[in-house]
Amino acid sequence: MNPQMALLWMIILPLGASPVAYMIGRLSYNRSKGLFGLARWVTLVTVMLTWIPLFFVGRAVVIDGPVSFKVGRIVMEMDGIGLLLSATVVLLGTLVTIFSLSYMKDEEGEEKYYALLPALCGMMIGLGCARDLFNLWVWFEGMAITSYLLVAFYRDQPGALEAGIKYLVQSAVGSVLVLFGISIIFLKAGTLDLVELREMASGFGPLGLAAGALFLAGFGVKAAMVPAHTWLPDAHSQAPSGISAMLSGVVIEAGLVAMLRALGVLSATSTAWGALLLMFGVLNMVVGNLMALRQTQVKRMLAYSSLAQVGYMLIGFGVSASYGLSNGAAGGFFHLFNHAMMKGLAFLAAGSLIYALYLSRGKHNPLMVEDLDGAAQRYPLTAFALSVALLALGGLPPLSGFMSKWQIFLAGAETRSTALLWLVIFAGLNSVLSLGYYAPLVNRMYRRQPSEAVKEGKPIAVSMALPMVAMLLFVVVLGFWPVWMSWLTAPAASSLLAGFGF
């Protein structure tokens, strides 16, 4: 398969599967259960088929550099960043789809779920490949719209509705800000192509700075930069667990990638972009960790910890954007991938416990911290998976989270700047703080006296355990041999550096 066609297929496959799955689901809804199952399998098979074009595109990108494809005036170009994002999306999408087979079984509106999930994946792949600002915005908006619907999926749950509408309004305000930024750039340059813009950027003057500020704040809403993060804990805790994993694992990171693309264009207008990213990184770490410290709901705690994890990525990217160090970007992207695996694993494990303890008995209770007591006895695999995910998030070796944090910190030290050294030390202290809420959860799961909920819990299906095992392998194996991901992170880092003009 030639890479250009493969790129096209990568976007078409998931987006095309979406209406097919929906229609099969709708048509068969009242007739036979047997046919309805087809909707699930359409989605699963399509997401798995996406691996094939991903392989061909990936090989071409790694060996020969960016692959581009032209439709009319729109150019889609897959570079290192796009590849990393797409690979993460497809991997997580596949695992979440498998997980959902039993998690979402017989929920009301299941066909919508299977229509929206591949659409979300397709939109994010498109976002990674966009090469002009407006196109970037369109994919971004498409991703946002699909995720609104998925967050508010349990539409008879008041909490889900509330989270959905709040998320929608905040995210939409963010994308309006981005639109204003784009129109300013369009005014100054008359073009929106990222490559052409980069050379013209130095002549933008103060309006260029304004556009950058709009991008930072606008995409920042989606990337959950403090203080524009307030939609995140609600949305993550109210969405179905598979969607929480997608939101936390790739959607907010896709916002981050969009922001980096847009800011990279403006790198010539100011030297402060990197410093601003660092500033937001610090804010995210502190606020995320402190907010998570006293949470009583597991999924809400995990949601806040996503803030802190985004903070680490921001620091890696910020160091790269200011100093041009490839370790920062590589570390940031490595952490992006690891975070998708670790946080995805944590959300899926929490989700399978929710399913076993509550959902399977028709209850929509949130999973409280106390419910984890003694979970290891009845659910050894799930408890082990959740423990590993939590400890990896806390940055303990030999797990993958440690490795990517190390790479980010190393980049900070490589600048030889005293301020950044202190920032790295501060980030390290934040990791210690985060253990203050991760570790007690692990302790709870290994108690001998199980909680009431665990005593009455139902068993966990194989299709839920399978994705957890896969992610567990990623978290552990990358912890032992971190350089296995550098084929993916190194091109992404060089794309980012090129984007920022280094």
315 is an interface residue for other proteins by CB under 8 A: no
165 is an interface residue for other proteins by CB under 8 A: yes
Candidates 4, 28, 68, 230: give the one binding other proteins (CB under 8 A): 230
CB of 75 to other proteins, least distance (A): 15
Q: Check: CB of residue 231 under 8 Å from CB of residue 150.
A: no
Q: Check: CB of residue 251 under 8 Å from CB of residue 147.
A: yes
238 is an interface residue for other proteins by CB under 8 A: yes
Phi/psi for 78 (5° steps) reads: -95, 115
Q: What is the DSSP string of 58-85?
A: HHHHHHH--EEEEETTEEEEE-HHHHHH
75 is an interface residue for other proteins by CB under 8 A: no
Among positions 329-388, residues that touch other proteins (CB under 8 A) are 330-331
DSSP 296: -
196 is an interface residue for other proteins by CB under 8 A: no
The residues facing 52 across adjacent strands are none
The residues facing 130 across adjacent strands are 76
Q: Residue 447: how many CB atoms within 10 A of its CB?
A: 15
Tokens of 174: 């963010």
Between 261 and 444, CB nearer to other proteins: 444
Binding characters for other proteins, 437-476, by CB under 8 A (x = yes): --xx--xx-xxxx---------------------------
324 is an interface residue for other proteins by CB under 8 A: no
19 is an interface residue for other proteins by CB under 8 A: no
The one-letter amino acid at 139: W
CB of 499 to other proteins, least distance (A): 19
312 is an interface residue for other proteins by CB under 8 A: no
Q: Which of 272, 258, 256, 144 is nearest to 213 (CA)?
A: 272
Candidates 29, 41, 51, 134: give the one binding other proteins (CB under 8 A): 134
Distances (CA, A) of 103 to 45, 153, 355, 356, 492: 18, 13, 7, 9, 34
Part in contact with other proteins (CB under 8 A); list of ranges 45-53, 110-118, 216-224, 464-472:
216-224
48 is an interface residue for other proteins by CB under 8 A: no
156 is an interface residue for other proteins by CB under 8 A: yes
CB of 101 to other proteins, least distance (A): 26
Candidates 482, 492, 494, 496: give the one binding other proteins (CB under 8 A): 482
If 0-12 CB within 10 Å is exposed, 13-18 middle and 19+ buried, where does residue 418 land?
A: exposed
Cα–Cα distance measured from residue 249 to residue 300, given in angstroms and rounded to the nearest whole number: 15
Among positions 410-439, residues that touch other proteins (CB under 8 A) are 410-416, 421, 424-425, 428-429, 431-433, 435-436, 439
221 is an interface residue for other proteins by CB under 8 A: yes
Q: Left (φ > 0), alpha (ψ -120 to 50) or beta: where does 124 sit?
A: alpha
